[in-house]
Amino acid sequence: MATHLVAKEHDLGGLTVRRVLPHMQKKMVGPFIFFDHMGPTEFAAGQGINVRPHPHIGLSTLTYLFTGSILHRDSLGNHLEIFPGDVNWMTAGKGIVHSERETFEVRANKHAIDGLQCWVALPEHMAELESSFQHVKKQLLPTLIREDIMMRLIVGEAYGMSAPIKTYSPMFYLDIAACAGSAIDLPDSQQETAVYVITGEIEIAGQVYTKGDFVLFDDESAFSFVQPGRVVLLGGDRFEKVPHITWNFVGYSKERINQAIEDWRAGKFPAVPDDNKEFIPF
């Protein structure tokens, strides 16, 4: 029987965030260990996304927007703006620092933000990889179009498609829009799978779910759209060993996380070249 995981809602300085993972009932879905829906939120001129430099280890971050834009900077020297439909994929590995802000043109005017941010845990034997970064424009992502269904593969492999993002374990992350009555088979019955409803209504084994619902599949093999809508379908191979999460760190031992905390406090992480005047303390 499918399991509905209820998100916890937070207000972060005027930004509404709904956090699903990690959840008391299910810490991970495949490699996905963190799942946030930020927004939809409207900001007045002078307000907006303004996340100071902060560190990560042991994971890849995935940012995917529906509305608005975010200015990404990191300690590898990347400096670019993320727009709706693009994939922003940053692999922290042994350690990276980044900030998430907005351009002057965005912040100086009334604007909105709506999108998803996920953390994807690295397998234990890859947790100390060298840091890396990929940004892929929406035009380069695989798309599958049927009569009443459109799918975009954001990360991983599904339905015969493969996204141009270097991943480190089997996974998939799909943006799907469909008409009422459309039925969709899950991409791989052997992988853990969940669906998040952005708009509309879907049905799974006779149960209807609506906007904001995050549903973990059990032995179900398909779902259908009761109303026209949009969902994100995600999952991957089950992790036999679930890593720890403390603050922005993912690690397979508490000792490794404690070392990262001390390194951040001691200023041993690399700096963001063009955003190094402030940071978020542990």
Q: What's the pLDDT score for residue 275?
A: 97
CA distance 60 to 93: 8
CA distance 225 to 202: 4
CA distance 101 to 273: 15
Angle at 187 between CA 185 and CA 193, to 5 degrees: 95
pLDDT score of 85 more than 80: yes
Q: What's the pLDDT score for residue 119?
A: 98
Q: What's the pLDDT score for residue 209?
A: 98
Q: What percent of the chain has pLDDT over 70?
A: 99
Average pLDDT, the chain: 97
Per domain, the residue ranges of the chain are: 3-236
Q: What's the pLDDT score for residue 16?
A: 86
Place 13 in a pLDDT band, splitting at 50, 70 and 90.
low
pLDDT score of 156 more than 70: yes
CATH code at 3-236: 2.60.120.10
Q: What percent of the chain has pLDDT over 90?
A: 96
Please tell me what DSSP assigns to residue 266: T
pLDDT score of 240 more than 80: yes
pLDDT tens digits along 195-234: 999 999 999 999 999 999 999 999 999 999 999 999 999 9
CA distance 171 to 123: 12
Task: Choose among 142, 137, 166: nearest CA to 153.
Answer: 142
Mean pLDDT (whole number) for 238-249: 97
Q: Which residue has the tokens 């829906």?
A: 37
Both tokens assigned to 120: 């994807």
Q: What's the pLDDT score for residue 14?
A: 72
